Structure 1
Amino acid sequence: MTATALPAEARAYLVGGAVRDALLGLPPGDRDWVVVGTDAEAMQAAGFRAVGADFPVFLHPDTGEEYALARTERKRGHGYTGFVVHADRGVTLEQDLARRDFTINAIAQAADGRLIDPLGGQADLEARWLRHCSPAFAEDPLRVLRGARFLARLAPLGFRLHDDTLALMRGMVEAGELAHLVPERVWQELRRALAAPRPSAFLQALRACGALAVVLPEVDALYGVPQRPEFHPEVDTGVHTEMVLDMAARLAPGDATLGFAALTHDLGKALTPAEALPRHPGHEHRGLAPLAALCARLKVPNAERQLATDVCREHLNVHRFAELRDATVLELLERCGGLRQPARIDRLALACEADKRGRKGFGETDYPQGRALRACRDAALAVQAKDVAREGLEGPALGAALRRARIAAIGAARARLAAG
């Protein structure tokens, strides 16, 4: 940032996550600035490009960083868009900071390095509290999801949700405010939480305030559902889902697509008939309908939807991989599109490994099934139609020959693995 690029009367302050993360010693991300003492016309005259549709935000002409005019907000309707925004030369930095969500996000830094912290954000950073800035927090239902998502990122550092903030979030849920959230924003917050180091904290926070039953009822229904303790010492299916999520984050940090598959792999267990419990026969197929409903409601993108469907349907097959016939292995690979998109098999293997290791006492368990699945995928891919083509062989006959050759290659790969 070059101060000379700003209007002469303006003062810019670094705000939000950039200040918070620097104080926590975390890697820097995007930098956001708030500007006081000027207006939109002066910003544009200085070369800044206006990009904000709902409030005055501008891009710096050289760095491309976002500069927002200091503003206040007044609630006028439901949801997170029902606000009247006021931004002019008279709005102070302190007024702008007061409208923010959490105290740890309401710290500003001046050009000389001085911190402006009117709400005690530094003290909350030290105490590891996630605390709301003011009662106005309750005016924006998206903040319930943002708070849970922040915990998914910051819980490994010891952060907890302050009791007063939890009570406020619970009141927002009880008032029905979350019903006004649009699916795209729910998915956006969920996806960012799934890419965080401890996504289980996202579920725990939402469940604590009652929001999980509103935004992810298919997942909320898993809590309290028992499993066989010899396979699942943690017993509770909801707890198991949390453990699988965290294991997926450990195996593939930042991979939200894998995280979504981990989140939804056992949805069918909430639908197991009571007389069958704690067994869950057929839960992998029973889970496909609630998974489809969740994906449709949140408008989940195709990549996440496809992998989650594959994992939900196939995770038991992968667990018992050694029992499958060679032809069945090829069919599994084909069902999952693994011969057209080989990377889908890598993620399927990782998701199944997370499921196996996401159990009490199983965190360091080896998972040879994943290696075997990948090896069979590679063996099948190595066989091409040109390798089996013979004079006069075409159409269905060529396809049958290719299939037989791939099954044989899968068998040979499994034999090599068995031989060590």
Structure 2
Amino acid sequence: MEIFMVGGAVRDALLGLPVQDHDWVVVGATPEALVARGYLPVGKDFPVFLHPETREEYALARTERKTARGYRGFAVHAEPDVTLEQDLARRDLTINAIAAPSKTQSAKTGFDTAFEPDFSALIDPFDGQKDLRDKVLRHVTGAFREDPVRILRLARFSARFPDFSVAPETMALMQAMVAEGEVDALVAERVWQELARGLMEDTPSRMFEVLRESGALQKLLPEVACLWGVPQPAAHHPEVDTGVHLMMVLDMSAQLEGSLAMRFACLCHDLGKGATAADVLPRHIGHEARSAQLLKDVCERLRVPVECREMADVVAREHGNIHRSESLNAASLVRLLERCDAFRKPQRFAEVLLACECDARGRLGLQDSPYPQRTRLLAVLAAAQAVDTHQLAMEAQAAGRGGQQIGEAIHRARVNAVQAAITDTGQLPQTAP
């Protein structure tokens, strides 16, 4: 039995990056042999085991043969005769198909207690180290085409390693897979999983650029794909192209270290601009409502988590009003807070404002511009939150008023509190335009 460190752990170690997860492959063993050494079987589709001490995953070397369209129809062969090179050949990218043998093994307690990879004796049958040096994402073999999830994974790696290019033959292969309908077989959960991970990388725009070039974006997110080529007024958007703007917004969301929900909101905030009638371009009157409607379709199709879809809905509907909030009076400001559910969910509202800042700064030449709306609206919220709603409710109930009247009283008190803050600071306009 031989044990090797493989995959992303080797790749990241060679790049000098922190290694988050260790992946191990076992050659020349049977499930029974691992169980006898204390390993715990956990794999459903193929033999994977947890180390009895470290709880890291160890997989038997295996080969795979596709038996149906999509990614779930595979016949797996995991026997002691499967070689390390055969196992590496089924992997997606050359940079993920490098193995390091274990340097030390101990059998004091009846199983291997620890393994230390030997990076001086790497096994690299597909020249992954060269591609690491050349900064190229290249598929290992034609087996890449058997799993459409690999298109999403490669796009995600592009977001993680934005200075890496996609090998021309790999891009051509992905385009062929899209044309053959392989992407159509992807299930929502896997698509969302990879998109979410890519959104959390440092340069999420690269993921969408690669998906767009491969043709997969048009299949998976046509509402996003159609934004390229849609013009906007140059006075407000010097970059003009809506798709270009969206990519700048996404990268700004990463720069400001936004949450997944905030970054997803940035992705979907301008979907409605792709549905603007041609005869009114480059203006996009009412695109906020169209964005919110299209967002519903995206969230249903991809089964987006509730937290992400709710924040995206607020940003889609209200980002224009938040941008214009400097011109709103006290009553309009409180109504904006109410529509954003800011009193019940103040932390989410803070992230909504951050998404709007990304929208404002994700424009050519405006990346370093201030966004005073965020600070001001947080101050407005604080002033309105200072109202003692419990006391107001008690007084209204004592006077025999019902729920609607109590709500109206709380609303008026919040408006008065915001107006008082405006009067004291002189920083906000007294009347709406």
- Structure 2 counterpart of 1:405, from 413, 426, 433: 413
Hey, what does 2:376 align to over in structure 1? 372
Deviations 1:131-174 (A, max 9, x none): 0000110111111111101101110xx11111110000000001
Hey, what does 1:3 align to over in structure 2? none
Q: Does 1:176 align with 2:167?
A: no
Distance in 2 between residues matched to 1:16 and 1:416, nearest whole Å: 61
**Mind listing any 5+ residue stretches in structure 2 that lack a counterpart?**
104-117, 429-433
**Mind listing any 5+ residue stretches in structure 1 that lack a counterpart?**
1-9
Hey, what does 2:22 align to over in structure 1? 31
- The change in CA–CA distance for 1:415 and 1:345 in structure 2 (over 3 A counts) is farther
TM superposition score normalised by structure 1:
0.94
Hey, what does 1:4 align to over in structure 2? none
Hey, what does 1:72 align to over in structure 2? 63
Matched residue type, 2:143: A
Q: What root-mean-square deviation, in Å, do the aligned CA atoms of Structure 1 and Structure 2 show? A: 1.5
TM-superposed deviation, 1:417: 5.5
- Aligned-partner SS, 2:24: strand
Deviations 1:106-154 (A, max 9, x none): 1111122131111111110100000000011011111111110110111
Q: Does 1:62 align with 2:67?
A: no
TM superposition score normalised by structure 2:
0.91
Q: Does 1:306 align with 2:310?
A: yes
- Aligned-partner SS, 1:116: coil
Q: Does 1:134 align with 2:121?
A: no
TM-superposed deviation, 1:415: 4.6
- Structure 2 counterpart of 1:100, from 70, 83, 91: 91
- Structure 2 counterpart of 1:123, from 130, 133, 145: 130
Distance in 2 between residues matched to 1:128 and 1:259, nearest whole Å: 27
Hey, what does 1:296 align to over in structure 2? 300
> Which aligned runs of 4 or more in structure 1 are off by greater than 6 angstroms?
none
Q: Which moved more, 1:130-139 or 1:406-415?
A: 406-415
- Aligned-partner SS, 2:5: strand
- The change in CA–CA distance for 1:57 and 1:399 in structure 2 (over 3 A counts) is same
Q: Which moved more, 1:274-283 or 1:384-393?
A: 384-393
Q: Is the 8 A contact 1:59 1:67 kept in 2?
A: yes
Q: Is the 8 A contact 1:18 1:30 kept in 2?
A: yes
TM-superposed deviation, 1:346: 0.9
Distance in 2 between residues matched to 1:45 and 1:412, nearest whole Å: 75
Distance in 1 between residues matched to 2:263 and 2:408, nearest whole Å: 37
Hey, what does 1:192 align to over in structure 2? 197
Q: How many residues align?
A: 408
- The change in CA–CA distance for 1:39 and 1:415 in structure 2 (over 3 A counts) is farther
Hey, what does 1:281 align to over in structure 2? 285
TM-superposed deviation, 1:416: 5.4
Q: Is the 8 A contact 1:345 1:377 kept in 2?
A: no
- Structure 2 counterpart of 1:329, from 333, 354, 357: 333
Distance in 2 between residues matched to 1:267 and 1:243, nearest whole Å: 15
Deviations 1:218-274 (A, max 9, x none): 000111100001111111101111100000111125x22111101100000011111
- Aligned-partner SS, 1:287: helix
Distance in 2 between residues matched to 1:45 and 1:381, nearest whole Å: 62
- The change in CA–CA distance for 1:215 and 1:419 in structure 2 (over 3 A counts) is closer
